[in-house]
Amino acid sequence: MLFRASKCYNTLMLVVAFLQWWYGPGWRDASNRLVAKIHETYLNFSMPILLRTMFSPWRRIITPPGGSLDAKMRAALDNTISRLVGFTVRLVALIAACVLIALYALIGGLIVLLWPILPILGPALVVGGLL
């Protein structure tokens, strides 16, 4: 009998400890992980560098101008094309980074907002399924 009461007490303490963690450090940790993931994506895509070098030539491919007018025109065309390719690649990378950050913010923000009701949701779904 004493063993049974002790087991019930331990289970109750475990549930209380879980709820204490869930609504305190757990919730804070979930929001901190979301912010860290967004910041990590921002840094992995090197967004400040992409913005700073937006109109730089692609892979620093630059054609030096020659002596004749034809060579100078060809170099100007080559350099313009290199800059357009660089701009396009950087723009696509920036758009991908923004989409990922928006998805993380949307889904992660939804999880952080729904965090308080998630422990109740499991038993509620079981009861709803039984009814």
> pLDDT tens across 14-51, in order?
989 998 999 999 999 999 999 999 999 999 999 999 99
Looking at per-residue pLDDT, the higher value among 36 and 63 belongs to 36
DSSP letters along 29-95, please?
Answer: HHHHHHHHHHHHHHHHTTHHHHHHTTTSPGGG--PPP-SSHHHHHHHHHHHHHHHHHHHHHHHHHHH
d(CA 54, CA 44): 17
Whole-number average pLDDT of the chain: 90
Q: Decide: 50 and 92 in contact? Cβ < 8 Å.
A: no
Q: Decide: 34 and 108 in contact? Cβ < 8 Å.
A: yes
Looking at per-residue pLDDT, the higher value among 63 and 24 belongs to 24
> What pLDDT, on the 0 to 100 scale, is given for residue 46?
93
65 — pLDDT class (breaks 50, 70, 90): confident
Total Cβ atoms within 10 A of residue 90? 20
User: Stretch 86-95: mean pLDDT, rounded?
Assistant: 96
The pTM score is: 0.76
> What pLDDT, on the 0 to 100 scale, is given for residue 4?
63
